[in-house]
Structure 1
């Protein structure tokens, strides 16, 4: 007993320590959250001055929500210290709720103030950013003549279709630079007038315009390099494609291979003569696609050659064999319903499902079965063999269940049910022998059928 009460005392002391720690955490969290509200209120005023009321609206709403919920936390803390006695469970529940509310408040304010950190920093650096926008615009304007001359030089070598993605870039870049310089001036004037929100919007527009203008000018130079690379790659693929055609003409000519050969020949014939303006990117894409199509067709033809397609008569024979074995299994299971267990029924149900899937795969009409094309024969043959195998298993399991269900010799006190021999006197004299002969004939037929399947494979 002394050990029991000692353990209870220790457990109670640990619980009291945990409750005291939770109460201390609740008080500290309440003070920290209240201070955070005051600090964030000052930050909101500063953000309004830098950004205007629009961008700071989410922080303002978050601050109002936090104030509302913190009133609940203060009320719970007040209940913990009023004149009404509280149970330890009540104090524990209130303190846990106070901690939860205060942590939520600080997390929400952290999220909202962090979202404003970058815009505030940009607003503080507005004069520096405006100066950089103007310097970048002046630097990019110096690159415009080179960009125009590059487009003119490329127009001599490449088609208008190829140049359509970059020929207007110098003009668009010049317009964007003009807009950037104008927006920088607007940002400067709005900032001096105290219209911070409008000033920041204009500042963002000017920086984005400079970025887009530089991207357009860079694209002109990149195009020239990529076009030369495409021409070099195109020459290598042309040589490779001609070699592939030589190999393909020696391969077995399936319809798919022949079609792929013709498509690659057409792609090679469509290549323009020397001195004609071209689109190397379009030609490269077309030739690559045709070359890959020929490789895939040859691989499929080789794979098919390695796995001979079953003749149509073998497929039809396999389907007929599956139907015969299903019919035999169905009759045996239906004739001994009280004796057949779950295993045999499951195999038979799976065999029927596979056979039904085969009908869906081929189409249920007899014409579909007798006109299976080469692309579907292998799958149909495999499904038919699978259905026949499952039906055979079902029949063997059914025979096992039938044998197990028949009475044993010691149940009848004589030589056994049906063991006198066919036609001998006794209960059920020739019944067992006759049943075994019938089942033996069925199984023998299945064995003969499987041998014939092996001959026809």
Structure 2
């Protein structure tokens, strides 16, 4: 009976486990079939993408062959050299892509990995070929538009040449005016801009004249390069002249900042002089005098009416001088505050020392013969230190001495009371 009870549940367990294994296997096969269908769908999609890209690239190569011929006839082979090289490179890529497509289409068996690799290669080759030719075609379309609009563009360039020439004269006048106020070092970043702008303007005028001559002759020669050269020259000249205007604004702003800083420096110097005149320490007064003289000299030089200013350098020099003045003034103010605090504390320290000395002296007098020499010696030193503190002119030193007198008096009192026990 026991054996039967043991075997029946075991069979049930093993039977259940087998069913689970079968179920898991079925699920795994189903997932495998699903993944296989997804992979095939993805692969089919890439194959279609490769076919579309290849057809588009072949159409572009065929179409741009005509465009290249038109461009060579209009602009010449030198101007279309890059276009021709791009067309040859794209045509080779399309030919290579067709060769790969043929390998995919033939009956020879290939592995799936090879098919995927060739498909991706076809897409890359076709896309590169299309992009290269599209960019070249866009460039020459722009050139043709430039040639078509050349008369109108030439009129615009001539008007711009006139305006820029007027700006060159204005820039020259601005630099001359600025030279009366600002130092050469301040004008250095823009001082050569007029000469460089005039050179760029001359290049633009030559290119414009060359384009105009071709148009006047009704020549078939393209003028786009000359128009672009003129445009570039005018752009460079404009940027150089813009820098003069911007530089002038920055110089004026810097000079205004320097003027305000000089006014602030006057206030700083006035405060430093007041502190010097009221300070109790000779050393502090001497140091204040030194930095005041340095700052005063710098301020005077920067304010000299005949001096040409370099606002940035002048501001840096003034800030360095006033910075040194601030440091010394702060140190002197702290030393004066220390004196004033010591003077206030000295009054209390002297009163405390006198009181303790009096109490100790009275205690010793009340116990004649019983208090030994150590206590009496410390009391005598306390009285001597108190006398020195009273005579000391320096409140800080006087405070330290008064505190020593208090310490000796306290020690003397303790020793005297110990002796009388």
> TM-score band, normalised by the shorter chain?
0.5 to 0.7
Aligned to 2:308: 279
Aligned to 1:11: 35
Q: How does 1:44-443 map to 2 (within 5 A)?
A: 44-48=68-72, 52-54=76-78, 56-110=80-134, 121-141=145-165, 177-190=201-214, 192-196=218-222, 199-215=223-239, 226-246=250-270, 264-271=295-302, 273-274=304-305, 276=306, 278-280=307-309, 282-292=310-320, 294-295=322-323
TM-score normalised to the size of structure 2? Answer: 0.55
Where does the alignment leave 5 or more consecutive residues of structure 2 unmatched? 1-21, 277-282, 335-421
Q: CA deviation at 1:134?
A: 0.9
Give CA-to-partner distance per residue, 1:366-419, whole Å, 9 cap, x none. Answer: xxxxxxxxxxxxxxxxxxxxxxxxxxxxxxxxxxxxxxxxxxxxxxxxxxxxxx
Give CA-to-partner distance per residue, 1:122-152, whole Å, 9 cap, x none. Answer: 4443322211111122344456666666566
Q: CA deviation at 1:186?
A: 0.5
DSSP 3-state at the match of 2:302 = coil
CA contact (8 A) 1:187 1:202 kept: yes
Task: Write the distance in 1 (CA, Å) between the matches of 2:114 and 2:289.
Answer: 85
CA contact (8 A) 1:267 1:287 kept: no
CA contact (8 A) 2:205 2:230 kept: yes
Task: Write the distance in 1 (CA, Å) between the matches of 2:81 and 2:319.
Answer: 59
CA contact (8 A) 1:257 1:294 kept: no
CA contact (8 A) 2:161 2:234 kept: yes
Q: CA deviation at 1:95?
A: 1.9
Q: How does 1:4-43 map to 2 (within 5 A)?
A: 4-43=28-67
Task: Write the distance in 2 (CA, Å) between the matches of 1:263 and 1:302.
Answer: 17
DSSP 3-state at the match of 1:270 = helix
Indicate how the Cα distance of structure 1 residues 284 and 125 shifts in structure 2: closer, same or farther if over 3 A, else same: same
CA contact (8 A) 1:183 1:202 kept: yes
Query: How many residues are treated as equivalent by the alignment?
Result: 300
Task: Write the distance in 1 (CA, Å) between the matches of 2:288 and 2:135.
Answer: 61
Task: Write the distance in 2 (CA, Å) between the matches of 1:285 and 1:160.
Answer: 12
Task: Write the distance in 1 (CA, Å) between the matches of 2:226 and 2:48.
Answer: 50
Q: CA deviation at 1:176?
A: 5.2
CA contact (8 A) 1:50 1:124 kept: no
Aligned to 1:425: none
DSSP 3-state at the match of 1:75 = helix
Task: Write the distance in 2 (CA, Å) between the matches of 1:77 and 1:99.
Answer: 10
Task: Write the distance in 1 (CA, Å) between the matches of 2:91 and 2:60.
Answer: 11
Task: Write the distance in 2 (CA, Å) between the matches of 1:41 and 1:137.
Answer: 39
Q: CA deviation at 1:74?
A: 0.8
The structure that has the greater radius of gyration is: 2
Give CA-to-partner distance per residue, 1:43-64, whole Å, 9 cap, x none. Answer: 4445545655455444433332
Aligned to 2:362: none
Task: Write the distance in 2 (CA, Å) between the matches of 1:114 and 1:259.
Answer: 74
Where does the alignment leave 5 or more consecutive residues of structure 1 unmatched? 307-457
Task: Write the distance in 1 (CA, Å) between the matches of 2:107 and 2:153.
Answer: 61
Indicate how the Cα distance of structure 1 residues 108 and 268 shifts in structure 2: closer, same or farther if over 3 A, else same: same
Q: CA deviation at 1:78?
A: 0.9
CA contact (8 A) 2:251 2:311 kept: no
Task: Write the distance in 1 (CA, Å) between the matches of 2:195 and 2:120.
Answer: 65
CA contact (8 A) 2:193 2:240 kept: yes
Q: CA deviation at 1:283?
A: 4.4
TM-score normalised to the size of structure 1? Answer: 0.51
CA contact (8 A) 2:272 2:292 kept: yes
